[in-house]
């Protein structure tokens, strides 16, 4: 067989190094490549200077509770570390102990306690300490106290023939807005302009009927998602690799329109050039890679689907306790702390 031209071989190696290929029946080149000797002729050893030159973070979309940003130039292990720290290691405040003084509703005490635990509390966890193991009583530095005291009554003014519970009863729906903060110790002085409350006012906790009441006291403590999902600060944190779509030859007329339908809206654009319809890739980022194109015999060999190996599109959706950009910077601080602890341990271990 004739030897492959060096340029073509290099191009093929480049593609293996920085693209994950999506074929009809599988995914190619998924292994990590940033260690030396992986590909002959490439200096793949990790280099701090090169990393600093190539690494970047681009914020794509920032809304009240959602953040989409790109992290370019890192390895999957680091990207995954950020995702897992966001899910399980950034602390928040949540209801941990529920003292039930009276509960005559049909919601059992433990179900009620569980529901209260999952309500996100708007309180900056950085203002509090972790509560010591075995402490029964909370103090002002590690506990927030909330009270929920509500009783359902009939509405004497309701129309006789009415069957609408909203008209017939007062307080028949118990919402998170009925939780009130009860300052502990000197918390009123510690947090003069604090507004500790549930993130959302309209979370339904229980339904009552006349004569039923709920009277509970709650202790919120600081914790992490590793211990219980209620402490997780994000509704979801995920990443995907940037899609990369290449048309290997011009695709025209009917084929162009079929190709457009194979991808998510906005990915393929059909242009009119000299009376001919010609397809081009407008925005590969929007694609979800359904691989629909592989079902079309005439098209599947004209398109190359890949993902950029070191370009991560993160999406972080906060529960509203802290803004997502703060969560990401807290996650970075936690990862830095882990690295520092590891280095300290290496220093303290006597070398053999």
Residue ranges per structural domain of the chain: 13-90+233-248+302-342, 92-231
| Domain at 13-90+233-248+302-342, CATH homologous superfamily | RNA polymerase, RBP11-like subunit (3.30.1360.10)
Q: What is the CA radius of gyration of the chain?
A: 29
Q: What is the pLDDT of residue 325?
A: 94
Q: How many CB atoms lie within 10 A of CB 23?
A: 13
Long-range contacts formed by 152-161: CB under 8 A, 24+ apart: 152/208, 152/209, 152/210, 152/211, 152/212, 152/213, 153/210, 154/210
Give the CA count within 13 Å in the CB-facing half-sphere of 246: 9
168-185 residue pLDDT tens:
999 999 999 999 999 999
95-149 residue pLDDT tens:
999 999 999 999 999 999 999 999 999 999 999 999 998 888 889 999 999 999 9
* 92-231: CATH architecture: Beta Complex (2.170)
**Residue 300: band (very low, low, confident or very high) from pLDDT cuts 50, 70, 90:** confident
Q: What is the pLDDT of residue 22?
A: 87
CA angle 2, 36, 69 (to 5 degrees): 105
Spatial separation of the C-alpha atoms in residues 210 and 197, rounded to whole Å: 27
51-103 residue pLDDT tens:
899 999 999 999 999 999 999 999 889 999 999 999 999 999 999 999 999 99
Partners of residue 28 on adjacent β-strands: 21
**Residue 1: band (very low, low, confident or very high) from pLDDT cuts 50, 70, 90:** low
pTM for the model? 0.86
């Amino acid at each position: 067989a004739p030897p492959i031209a060096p340029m073509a071989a290099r191009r093929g190696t480049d593609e293996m190094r920085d693209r994950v290929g999506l074929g009809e029946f599988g995914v190619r080149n998924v292994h990590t490549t940033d260690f030396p000797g992986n590909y002959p002729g490439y200096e793949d050893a990790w280099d701090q200077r090169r990393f600093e030159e190539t690494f970047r973070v681009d914020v794509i979309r920032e809304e009240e509770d959602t953040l989409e940003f790109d992290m370019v130039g890192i390895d999957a292990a680091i990207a995954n570390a950020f995702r897992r720290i966001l899910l399980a290691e950034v602390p928040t405040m949540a209801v941990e102990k529920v003292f039930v003084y009276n509960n005559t509703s049909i919601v059992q005490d433990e179900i009620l306690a569980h529901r209260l635990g999952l309500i996100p509390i708007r309180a900056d966890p950085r203002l509090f300490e972790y509560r010591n193991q075995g402490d029964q009583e909370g103090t002002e530095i590690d506990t927030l106290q909330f009270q929920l005291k509500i009783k359902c009554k009939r509405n004497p003014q309701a129309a006789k023939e009415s069957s609408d519970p909203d008209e017939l009863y007062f307080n028949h729906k118990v919402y998170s807005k009925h939780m009130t903060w009860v300052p502990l110790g000197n918390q009123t002085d510690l947090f003069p302009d604090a507004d500790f409350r549930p993130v959302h006012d309209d979370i339904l906790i229980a339904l009552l009927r006349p004569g039923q009441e709920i009277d509970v006291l709650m202790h919120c403590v600081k914790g992490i998602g590793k211990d219980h999902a209620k402490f997780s600060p994000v509704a979801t944190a995920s990443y995907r690799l940037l899609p990369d779509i290449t048309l290997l030859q011009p695709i025209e007329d009917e084929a162009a329109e079929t190709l457009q339908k194979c991808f998510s809206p906005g990915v393929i654009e059909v242009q009119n050039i000299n009376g001919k319809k010609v397809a081009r890739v407008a925005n590969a980022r929007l694609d979800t890679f359904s691989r629909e194109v592989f079902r079309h015999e005439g098209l599947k060999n004209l398109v190359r689907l890949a993902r950029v190996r070191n370009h991560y599109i993160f999406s972080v959706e906060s529960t509203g306790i802290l803004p997502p950009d703060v969560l990401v910077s807290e996650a970075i601080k936690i990862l830095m702390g882990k690295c520092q602890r590891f280095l300290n341990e290496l220093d303290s271990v006597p070398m053999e």
